[in-house]
Structure 1
Amino acid sequence: MKKRGVINQQLSNALAGLGHGDYFLLCDAGFPIPKEVERVDLALTFGIPNMDQCLKAILDEIVVQKVTIAKEMKDLNDEGYQFLKRVFKNQKLCEISQAELVKLADNAKFIVRSGELRCYSNILLEAASGVETFKNDFIIDPAQI
């Protein structure tokens, strides 16, 4: 048995398979997940687990260098938007339209579906290099989230 971290086998395997520059999507309960992309469904019921809980568990496992969100999030989900701004202090944060985010999902390595219900709680996360000198600036302590 694992000592800590993600114990969902499908998610643990998917995260372990990421390479530098690979990206995946953490999405809310209503995101239109493409049929061709692997779905890691964590949703138990509406709101459980939420985006914050999923993100905290994921960031305990991987290093992220770039984050892309829908620009609509800022106006329609300020709570989620401010949370992401606090968490990703050193990562490049890109804001694109929700329509563009949906198109990028077609090429995601996998998509993690949460039970989140706040509008536009969809985050495209790009994996950083595992090389120590390149990843140090991107390490996020989940205890600080």
Structure 2
Amino acid sequence: MKKTELLHSALSRLVATLGHGDKVLVADAGMPAPHGSAVEIIDLALTNGVPDIATTIRVLLSEMQVESHIVASETLARNDAWLSSEWAGRIGSRQVVSHEELKRLSHEARAVVRTGECTPYANLMLVAGVTF
């Protein structure tokens, strides 16, 4: 049995296989996922708000080393509480792009993690770092 907080086997496997610079998009329930590409879709959405994006990111960060993140300007404009959660200081430097650009960048991700979050523009792309 694992000792860390992250129990979801697909997420744990994803983190174990990430390399420096790989991208993971943690997305709300409405974010279109890239179809017909090599991007893995890990669908966690159960119902409205479950799991929420803040919890999903917090648990993912229990195993994932992050050096930076990419967020849409539309997300920042909303100033939602989830983006200033307790883990915000552990996601490195910030790159701001448009929501349309974030959707384009999703095609470069190793995986899209779909949550049950139903807040508009609640999407965050994490860029893997190294622990050394």
TM more than 0.5 = yes
Paired position in structure 2 for 1:134? none
Which has a greater percent of helix?
A: 1
Residues 127 and 89 (structure 1), Cα distance of their counterparts in 2 relative to 1, 3 Å cut: closer
- The separation in 1 between residues aligned to 2:24 and 2:91, in whole angstroms, is 19
- The separation in 1 between residues aligned to 2:4 and 2:83, in whole angstroms, is 28
- The separation in 1 between residues aligned to 2:125 and 2:85, in whole angstroms, is 15
Q: Following TM superposition, by how much is the alpha carbon of 1:76 offset from its aligned partner in structure 2, in angstroms?
A: 2.6
Paired position in structure 2 for 1:122? 123
- The separation in 2 between residues aligned to 1:78 and 1:3, in whole angstroms, is 31
* Same amino acid, percent of matched pairs: 35
- The separation in 2 between residues aligned to 1:114 and 1:77, in whole angstroms, is 19
TM-score normalised per structure 2: 0.90
Q: How many residues align?
A: 130
| Higher Cα Rg, which structure | 1
- The separation in 2 between residues aligned to 1:19 and 1:108, in whole angstroms, is 12
Paired position in structure 1 for 2:21? 21
Q: Following TM superposition, by how much is the alpha carbon of 1:77 offset from its aligned partner in structure 2, in angstroms?
A: 4.4
Matched, 1:80 2:82: yes
Paired position in structure 2 for 1:53? 55
- The separation in 1 between residues aligned to 2:3 and 2:90, in whole angstroms, is 29
1:90-101 map, 5 Å = 91-101=92-102
Kindly indicate whether the alpha-carbon contact (under 8 Å) linking 2:54 and 2:83 is maintained by their aligned counterparts in 1: no
Q: Following TM superposition, by how much is the alpha carbon of 1:47 offset from its aligned partner in structure 2, in angstroms?
A: 0.3
- The separation in 1 between residues aligned to 2:26 and 2:115, in whole angstroms, is 7
Structure 2: gaps spanning 5 or more residues:
none
Deviation digits for residues 86-129 of structure 1 (CA, Å, limit 9, x no counterpart): 71367111111000000000010011111011111110100111
TM-score normalised per structure 1: 0.83
Q: Following TM superposition, by how much is the alpha carbon of 1:79 offset from its aligned partner in structure 2, in angstroms?
A: 2.4
Paired position in structure 1 for 2:71? 69
Q: Following TM superposition, by how much is the alpha carbon of 1:63 offset from its aligned partner in structure 2, in angstroms?
A: 1.2
Structure 1: gaps spanning 5 or more residues:
132-145
1:14 aligned partner, one-letter code: L
CA root-mean-square deviation = 1.7
- The separation in 1 between residues aligned to 2:91 and 2:121, in whole angstroms, is 22
Q: Following TM superposition, by how much is the alpha carbon of 1:4 offset from its aligned partner in structure 2, in angstroms?
A: 2.5
